[in-house]
Amino acid sequence: MIEIIDSAEQFNEWTKRDIYSIRVLSLLESYGTKYHFATFYRQIIDGKITAILSRLDNDITLALDDGFDNAEFVRFFCITGHGAILCDPSFEFGAKYDEGVIMSCEHKMESVVHGAEIDEYPKLMDLFNFVDYDGQDFKAWYVDVSHRIRHNTAKAYTLNFDGNIISSGILSSIYDGYGVLTAVRTADEFKRMGYGGQLVKYICSDVKNTVYIMREQNMNEHFYNELGFENIGVWRMYR
């Protein structure tokens, strides 16, 4: 049975801390259950929670456990509609999808930055322009990210040189000492100089437990391996 929740306590039995769970639980901590645009569901089979789900506007993250009912979710999404569905490949939906690699890092390395300064509270407009989100509406992005930052479920970082951003990273989801790292970028003229790596080290050391990333296939594997990240699985996003 899939049911909408009206209290965060209804997720208390869920103890997984994979990348999907962190995204769902962080979003729940950010918005709670009072907003119509952020809704949360759980699937229960024989008294056990087998999956949890978040829907932000129409984009969905699905976290799964053993014994989940795949067919029930297929029917659920066909009835309720969906945008992008981010999930483990064990969920089969029969629609077009993109795939990439999940990496994780538990190592805490010392970050040594020469000639640049780390800013943990950058101006979000400057960060948005630096990351260059393709087609993303700034107002919607700003409202969401600033709300998460205020609720300590996200954090933004930049590395600045001579007053300008040269590298960036955002922990877009933070929950229970775990984090999901996104928006990692270094300006072209500062690449291969170690700045991006030092910023990522700093961010990972700022998180108590595991840091996760989602990367595209055949992209940046060596960069993250050198920083202590390991491939742990595959993400899938249905469109």
Q: What's the pLDDT at 218?
A: 85
Which regions of 2-84 does DSSP assign to beta strands (E)? 2-4, 38-45, 48-56, 59-64
DSSP 8-state symbol, 207: S
Domains and CATH numbers, the chain: 2-95 (no CATH), 102-234 (3.40.630.30)
Q: Is residue 80 a contact partner of residue 214, using CB atoms and an 8 Å limit?
A: no
Which pLDDT tens digits describe the chain residue by residue (239 residues)?
A: 999 999 999 999 999 999 999 999 999 999 999 999 999 999 999 999 999 999 999 999 999 999 999 999 999 999 999 999 999 999 999 999 999 999 999 999 999 888 899 999 999 999 999 999 988 999 999 999 999 999 999 999 999 999 999 999 999 999 999 999 999 999 999 999 999 999 999 999 999 999 999 999 888 999 999 999 999 999 999 99
Query: Rounded distance, CA 157 to CA 203, Å?
Result: 8
With a CB cutoff of 8 Å and minimum separation 6, the contacts of 23 are 54, 61, 63, 86, 173, 180
pTM of the model: 0.96
Give the pLDDT confidence score for residue 225 in this predicted structure. 97
Q: DSSP alpha helices (H): ranges in the chain?
A: 19-31, 70-80, 124-131, 138-150, 195-205, 221-225
- Starting at the edge strand that comes first in sequence, how are the strands of the sheet with 117-119 ordered? 2-4, 38-45, 48-56, 59-64, 85-87, 230-238, 97-105, 211-216, 178-186, 164-175, 155-161, 117-119
- Residue type at position 81: G
Residue in 15, 55, 27, 60 with CA at minimum distance from that of residue 172: 27
Count of all residues that appear for the chain in the document: 239
User: pLDDT value at position 184?
Assistant: 97
> What's residue 169's pLDDT?
98
Cα radius of gyration rounded to whole Å, the chain: 18
Separation CA 18–CA 62 (nearest Å): 11
